Amino acid sequence: MNDAVGGSRYRAHPHPPTGAKIFAFLLLINVVYGNGVTRHRRDDLKELHVGALFPMEAGAGGWPGGVACRPAVEMAFEDVNNDPRVLNGYVFKLHHHNSKCQPGLAAKKIFELLYKDPVKLILLSGCSPVTTMVAEAAPVWNLIVLSYGASSPALSNRERFPTLFRTHPSANMQNPTRCKLFERFKWKKITIIQSVEEVFTSTAKDLEEQCRERGIRVERQSFYGDPTDAVKTLVRQDARIILGLFYVTEARRVLCQAYKHGLYGRKYVWWFIGWYADTWYYPPPEEGLNCTAEQMAEAAAYHFTTENIMLSRDSKPAISGMTGLEFQKRLTEMIATDPANAGGFPEAPLAYDAVWAMALAFNCTLNSLPKGMDLIDFDYNNTLIFEHLFKCVKDTQFKGVSGQVKFSDLGDRIARTQIEQLQNGKYVLLGYYDSVKHELDWFGNEIWHDGRGPPTDSTIVKESLLTVTIEIYTIVVILAVVAIIASLGLFVFNVQYSYRSVIIQSQPQCNNILIVGCALCSISLVLMGLPAEGITFPREFFSILCHSRISILMIGFTFAYGSMFAKVWIVHRMSASENQELAAISKDEEDGSPWESIRMLIAAMVGRQALVAAALRKISTHAYGSLVARRPCILNQPIPPAKFYTVIASLFGIDMLIILVWIVVDPLQRKEQRFSLQDPPADTEEDIKLLPILELCESNHQEMWIALILGYKCLLLVFGLFLAYESRNLKLRYINDSRFVGLSIYNVAILSLVTGPVVTLLIPSRGDANFAFLSATVLLCTYFSMGLVFVPKIVHIYRVTQSKDEAALANACLRSTISKSDQLRFEQLMKENSELKKQIDIRENRIAECRKILERRLGIAPESSSGALQSTGSVPGKTEITSTSPPSFATNNNNNSSGCQNDENSTIEAYKIQEDTVSSSEDANQNFESGTERATQSTGFNNTTMLLDFNEDTNTGHCSDFDDDSSITSNEILL
Ligand code: ABU
């Protein structure tokens, strides 16, 4: 279609200006253009032809601005042609096509315009993609392009578009306004979603630069056609302040996707371009959007728009004699569609003013051309007329219905920006911004969802320190304080009763160190739980906290465990060395040394249980058997405290060495371990996410230090465990609590060996669990150790008076070396001994009967003392049967071999046994010691051999008189 519109300048003006206004206007025209107002007859008029492209529809996604702009242009042609003040003697003629905002189609239409007569003097275009194409081509034909509807900032380029002017301001003009408002609402991060068109890409780039200069971070998402993926990315990026740069069709698609993805409401603020129609967000059925009008309206609620002012609100009339509002009213009457839905309705004043600018420029050119030259002489090779026209367009300025029309050197229109917000379905003016003067007129009409002010530009990420919960910390601190108080009390007790033997003999100095160790361990727990919930700790002192809590725990452990370790170590050492003295002849004299013990322990670890069992028996027998049996009082001498101090000081020295080297070489520093974001508590209204942070103490070679300390402590624990087991049956008078200490060592070692790896390797990142586990272990060890070592003493002191205590002390030498198991064994032996005596009695009776029978048979009187056998009968109840052979074996227990050769020569020395037994019952302690001594001396704890020892004089050739058959046989031989 190629419509030519010619206006009649004699037609009555539909909205005649007032008389005063007409007068003023005519005066202005006369002054500016110097023309007298003369009327021409229509057939005298010379035609000035203008080619124009209008985007009458959006096409695949563009600006359908021709809907309202073409009527506006036609109106302007009519007004200009009707106005006798401009282009007198000329008539404007418009030749136009529909470009559909598609550059390809526009190119075809432009060729049609240019290669079909008449020659066009100037080209009018709208829509950026089309204008870009036209403005790049036009200089080839010496044509000027005047754009009423191209906003692309890329068009502000004189090298690329040397003949372009536009009444439509560049989209960049809104960017200072946007940045100003982002600052006003304190947004530091915005996200642009744009379609891939040069107009929007260049706008977005300019905005990025401007925002960056103001310290606002800009993220950008582009799409072509379908915005679904781009919107999903916005969700992932946690975009909150979103600026959309696209044509209206794409705007609807984006809004629908925003609704689908929940990108609307209180937390989000959308910014759109302001030149869309007022009801743009309602989905036209032909677009097939998957959103209802209600959904779109809900998603669009309270969005902001920025747009250059395109309609003058000035009450003074423009050059056409109309005010902006009068123009708008006239246009509304002209167009068939609802203005709110008519594409290009906001830009229509620009199109109207573009025609006036053109007319005035032609007027100017007519006056500036050399005499005899006319505008109608123009052809596409006429550079002179082109240059005159170019200069006139450039210098054109007038008051239009869109405001003051004036072109910059780049051909841009300079205008103020207006900011609007969609409130309850209507756009409400919020303010104006003058980007030249940097002035913002703000009316304060903005509305926010829920009335809670501007939302944040992104989720507020609140750092949440993973501290020990206050409940757990409080419980641990209370228990730790109780432990500290208890240790103070025990210290007082230890000092107060230092005169009592039970204290004297328990190495009180050593126990005091145990108390100090327990207190230090408890104190370390108080530091270990920091920072707890609600209890902050200054970051600059965190390194000190790290070292102090570990050091205090290490030293506390060394004092507490070290003092117990020292006791079992010394018991073991003394026992072993004492035994070595007694068993000097033994080739295995080093078997009882601690190092041999370690060797056995290692063997145990590698699974050689059989070897270990044998070795342990050997060590135990070697270390304690002979010692207890033969020298019960040797170990009951006072032990100088220096011995204990030496052990503890050695361990303390190792600790201090590790701690100091650690601090100097590779100090612990505060490190943060960050976890993934978490939702806030359900009742939190704020738009926040929690970032859990765990404060850790770390040094560069953390693993090495952990391995060193754990390795050393574990070795100590295992060794202590072994020593405690080894010395479990031994009781030294001056370490009277060694058995309880041993129990305590079992407890500490097992708990620590379980806790150490769990806390350091399995749950290092779980603040509460880690602290609770560690605290439980430390507190259990502390309470158990203090309890096991001190409660028996307290009970003893309150039950046993001092005098009784001292009396018992006199006998302690004997009892102290006998274990419970040995006592039981002794009692067993006594029982067996009694059984044997009964058997001997039975045999004696039988012997007596035999003797009687023999005497009867031989006719020997019972009183006779002569013959082969003689009964001594010197002791009532006792019978001594003696052979006629010399009685050399009667008291010798080392001549079994000779005894075994001659049963008849055996002597049953029942009296001796009886005597031993009686003696045992008379003096339990002495007999306990003596019996055990004899038993152990011979075979350690071998009962059978012990019995042989007790009955050594009854041995026969069978080497055991407890064998009934052999004994009967010997008697029968006698018979
Ligand atoms: N105000 C309409 C702008 C259209 C365009 O620049 O393409």
The three-state DSSP-derived secondary structure of 271-329 is EEECCCCCCCCCCCHHHCCCCCHHHHHHHHCCCEEEEECCCCCCCCCCCCCCCHHHHHH
Which pLDDT belongs to residue 823? 66
Q: 914 pLDDT exceeds 90?
A: no
H/E run at residue 946: helix 943-950
Q: Which domains does the chain have, with CATH numbers?
A: 46-169+323-403 (3.40.50.2300), 172-309+418-458 (3.40.50.2300), 481-534+548-581+639-665+703-806 (1.20.1070)
Is the per-residue pLDDT at 780 higher than 60?
Answer: yes
Amino acid 845: pLDDT: 92
What is the reported pLDDT for 820?
57
Q: Is the pLDDT at 522 greater than 80, yes or no?
A: yes
Q: Among 297-301, 336-340, 931-935, which stretch is predicted with the lowest mean pLDDT?
A: 931-935
Question: Would you place residue 900 in the very low, low, confident or very high pLDDT band (cuts 50, 70, 90)?
Answer: very low
Least confident of 73-87, 619-633, 697-711: 619-633
Which pLDDT value is given to residue 945?
Answer: 34
User: CA distances (Å), 641 to each of 237, 577, 605, 638, 646, in order?
Assistant: 70, 18, 34, 9, 9
Place of tokens 């754990």: 710
* Structure-block tokens of residue 895: 């001549």
Q: How far is the centre of ligand 1, averaged over its atoms, from the C-alpha of 65 (Å)?
A: 8
| Any ligand 1 atom below 6 A from CB of 149 | yes
Which long-range CB contacts under 8 A does 585-590 form with residues at least 24 apart? 586/622, 588/618, 588/622
Ligand 1 mean position, distance from CA 425 (Å): 23
Confidence of residue 11 (pLDDT cuts 50, 70, 90): very low
**Which of 504-513, 767-776, 937-946 has the lowest average pLDDT?**
937-946
Structure confidence by residue, pLDDT tens digits, 43-55? 678 899 999 999 9
User: What's the token pair of residue 351?
Assistant: 């199109």
**142 conformational bin, left if phi > 0, alpha if psi -120 to 50, beta if neither:** left
- The verdict on the CB of residue 192 being under 6 Å from ligand 1 is no
Determine what percent of the chain is predicted with pLDDT higher than 90: 45
Pick the atom of ligand 1 nearest to 273's CA.
1
Q: Which two tokens stand for residue 278?
A: 């007022």
Q: Determine the pLDDT at residue 236.
A: 93
150 pocket-lining for ligand 1 (C-beta < 6 Å)? yes
Residues 975 and 957: their CA atoms lie apart, in Å, by 18
Q: What is the pLDDT of residue 609?
A: 46
CA dist 44 to 41, 88, 117, 356, Å? 5, 10, 20, 22
Q: Kind of pairing, strands 426-434 and 417-423?
A: antiparallel
pLDDT tens digits, one per residue of 806-830: 666 655 545 545 555 666 777 788 8
Q: CA-to-CA distance for 425 and 447, rounded, in angstroms?
A: 13
Residue with the bigger pLDDT between 248 and 598: it is: 248
Q: CA 940 to CA 929: how far, in whole Å?
A: 14
CB 164, CB 156: distance < 8 Å:
no
Q: Is 531 helix (H, G, I), strand (E, B) or coil?
A: coil
DSSP assignment string, 54-68 = E--S-TTS---THHH
What DSSP state is assigned to residue 336?
Answer: S
Residue with tokens 């002209």: 334
Any idea which of 6-20, 118-132, 337-351, 353-367 has the lowest mean pLDDT? 6-20
| Residues sharing a CB contact under 8 Å with residue 334, sequence separation 6 or more, in sequence order | 71, 75
Residue 542 half-sphere exposure toward CB, CA atoms < 13 A: 17
Region 118-145 average pLDDT: 95
Three-state secondary-structure class, residue 861: coil
Q: Which atom of ligand 1 is nearest to the CA of 168?
A: 1
Helix ranges (H only) for 529-591 are 542-582
Kindly report the length of the chain: 975
Pick the atom of ligand 1 nearest to 127's CA.
7
Once rounded to an integer, what is the mean pLDDT over residues 642-647?
Answer: 88
Q: What is the reported pLDDT for 634?
A: 53
Q: How far apart are CA 581 and CA 623, in angstroms?
A: 11
Q: How far is the CA of 46 from the centre of ligand 1 (A)?
A: 33
489-519 in b/e burial notation, b at 16+ Cβ within 10 A? ebbebbeebeebbbbbbbbbbbbbbbbbbbb
Region 616-633: mean pLDDT is 48
pLDDT of residue 801: 81
Most confident segment among 30-34, 506-510, 726-730: 506-510
59: which 2 tokens? 């096409």
347 Cβ inside 6 Å of ligand 1:
yes
DSSP3 helix / strand / coil % (the chain, rounded to 5): 55, 15, 30
Bridge partners for 193 per DSSP: 221, 244
Q: What is the pLDDT at residue 33?
A: 43
Burial of 689 (0-12, 13-18, 19+ CB in 10 A): middle
Q: What are the helix and strand counts (H, E) for the chain? A: 30, 21
Q: Is there an atom of ligand 1 within 6 Å of 25 CB? A: no
Higher pLDDT among residues 567 and 894, named by residue: 567
Q: Considering only residues 762 and 878, tell me which one the structure prediction assigns the higher pLDDT.
A: 762
What is the distance in A from the centroid of ligand 1 to the CA of 347? 9
Tell me what pLDDT residue 805 has.
67
Cα(329) to centroid of ligand 1, in Å? 22
Q: Which has more pLDDT, 443 or 10?
A: 443
Ligand 1 atom nearest residue 130's Cα: 7
Counting ligand 1 atoms within 8 A of each CB, the residue from 151, 152, 200 with the most, and so the one to mutate, is 151
Read off the amino acid at residue 793: K
Whole-angstrom Cα distance, residue 369 to residue 357?
18
Q: Which residue has the higher pLDDT, 498 or 489?
A: 489
User: What are the distances in angstroms from CA 782 to CA 47, 280, 482, 516, 529?
Assistant: 111, 77, 11, 11, 17
To the nearest 10°, the Cα dihedral for 652, 654, 660, 663? -110
Q: What is the pLDDT of residue 517?
A: 95
Indicate the range of 210-214, 515-519, 584-588, 874-878 predicted with least confidence. 874-878
Distance 441 CA to ligand 1 centre (A): 25
Regarding the beta carbon of 151 and ligand 1, being less than 6 Å apart is answered: yes
Contact present, 673 and 464 (Cβ < 8 Å): no
pTM of model > 0.85: no
Centre of ligand 1 to C-alpha 678, Å, is 44
Residue 882 confidence (pLDDT): 39
Look at phi and psi of residue 298 and say left if phi exceeds 0, alpha if psi is from -120 to 50, else beta: alpha
pLDDT number for residue 45: 84
Examine the pLDDT at 145 and tell me if it is beyond 70: yes
Average pLDDT of span 956-971? 35
Bridge-based pairing of strands 122-126 and 46-54 is parallel
Question: Would you state the pLDDT for residue 810?
Answer: 59
For residue 422, what pLDDT is reported?
Answer: 96
Does residue 592 contact residue 622 with C-beta atoms inside 8 Å?
A: yes
Q: What rounded mean pLDDT belongs to the chain?
A: 78
Mean pLDDT (whole number) for 953-968: 35
> Is pLDDT larger for residue 974 or for residue 162?
162
Within a 13 Å sphere around the CA of 40, how many CA atoms are in the beta-carbon half?
20
Which span out of 482-491, 569-578, 641-650 was modeled with the highest average pLDDT?
Answer: 482-491
Of 144, 142, 140, the closest CA to residue 124 belongs to: 144
Average pLDDT on 757-770 reads: 69
Amino acid residing at 128: S
**pLDDT for the residue 764:** 61
Q: State which ligand 1 atom lies nearest to the alpha carbon of 128.
A: 7
Ligand 1 pocket test target in 53, 54, 101, 128 with most atoms within 8 Å of CB? 128
Cβ contacts of 809 within 8 Å, gap of 6 or more: 501
pLDDT value for 325: 94
Q: What is the pLDDT of residue 888?
A: 38
CA distance 506 to 734: 6
- Parallel, antiparallel, or unpaired: how do β-strands 46-54 and 90-98 relate? parallel
Q: Is 65 in the pocket of ligand 1 (CB under 6 A)?
A: yes
- For the Cβ of 319 lying below 6 angstroms from any atom of ligand 1, the answer is no
Q: Which residue has the tokens 């060495």?
A: 657
What's the confidence (pLDDT) of residue 411? Answer: 65
**DSSP track, 732-759:** BTTBTTHHHHHHHHHHHHHHHHHHHHII
Is the distance from the beta carbon of residue 466 to the nearest atom of ligand 1 less than 6 Å? no
pLDDT at 629: 46
Q: Which of 168, 202, 245, 249 to mutate to test the pocket of ligand 1 (most atoms within 8 A of CB)?
A: 168
Question: Is any atom of ligand 1 closer than 6 Å to the C-beta of 199?
Answer: yes
pLDDT tens string 546-592: 989 899 999 999 999 999 999 888 888 877 776 666 665 444 444 44
CA of 166 to the centre of ligand 1 (A): 11
Work out which ligand 1 atom sits closest to the CA atom of 101.
Answer: 7
Question: Is there an atom of ligand 1 within 6 Å of 53 CB?
Answer: no
Indicate whether residue 308 lines ligand 1 (CB < 6 A).
no
The letter for the amino acid at 943 is N
Q: Whose CA is nearest to atom 4 of ligand 1?
A: 127
Using the mean position of ligand 1's atoms as its centre, give its distance from the Cα of residue 129 in Å.
9
Give the mutation target among 63, 99, 148, 280 for probing the ligand 1 site: most ligand atoms within 8 A of CB.
63
244 versus 801: which is more confidently predicted?
244
Instruction: Look at residue 739 and tell me whether its pLDDT is greater than 50.
Output: yes
C-alpha–C-alpha distance, residues 907 and 928, integer Å: 27
- Kindly indicate the confidence band of residue 948, based on its pLDDT and cuts at 50, 70 and 90: very low
**How far is it between the farthest Cα atoms of the chain?**
197
Residues facing residue 423 across a β-bridge: 426
Cα of 786 vs centre of ligand 1, distance in Å, is: 87
In angstroms, what CA-CA distances link 763 with 717, 756, 912?
A: 22, 11, 70
Q: In what order do the strands lie in the sheet with 426-434?
A: 217-223, 189-195, 241-245, 269-273, 304-308, 417-423, 426-434, 439-442
CA of 366 relative to ligand 1 center, distance in Å: 32
**Given this model, what pLDDT does residue 961 score?**
33
**Residues whose CB falls within 8 Å of the CB of residue 581, separated by 6 or more in sequence, listed in order:** none
- Minimum mean pLDDT among 39-53, 590-604, 912-926: which range? 912-926
Averaged pLDDT, 372-387: 92
Give CA–CA dist 393/354, Å, rounded: 10
> Cβ–Cβ contacts within 10 Å for residue 449, how many?
15
CA distance 222 to 639: 87
**Peptide bond just before 118 cis, omega within 30 deg:** yes
Full DSSP string of 123-170: EEEESHHHHHHHHHHGGGGT-EEEEEE---GGG--TTTSTTEEESSPP
Q: How far is the CA of 256 from the centre of ligand 1 (A)?
A: 22
Pocket test for ligand 1, best of 155, 199, 350 (most atoms within 8 A of CB): 199
Pick from 161, 152, 94, 162: nearest CA to 123:
94
pLDDT grade, residue 540 (50/70/90)? Answer: confident
d(C-alpha 17, C-alpha 320), whole Å: 9
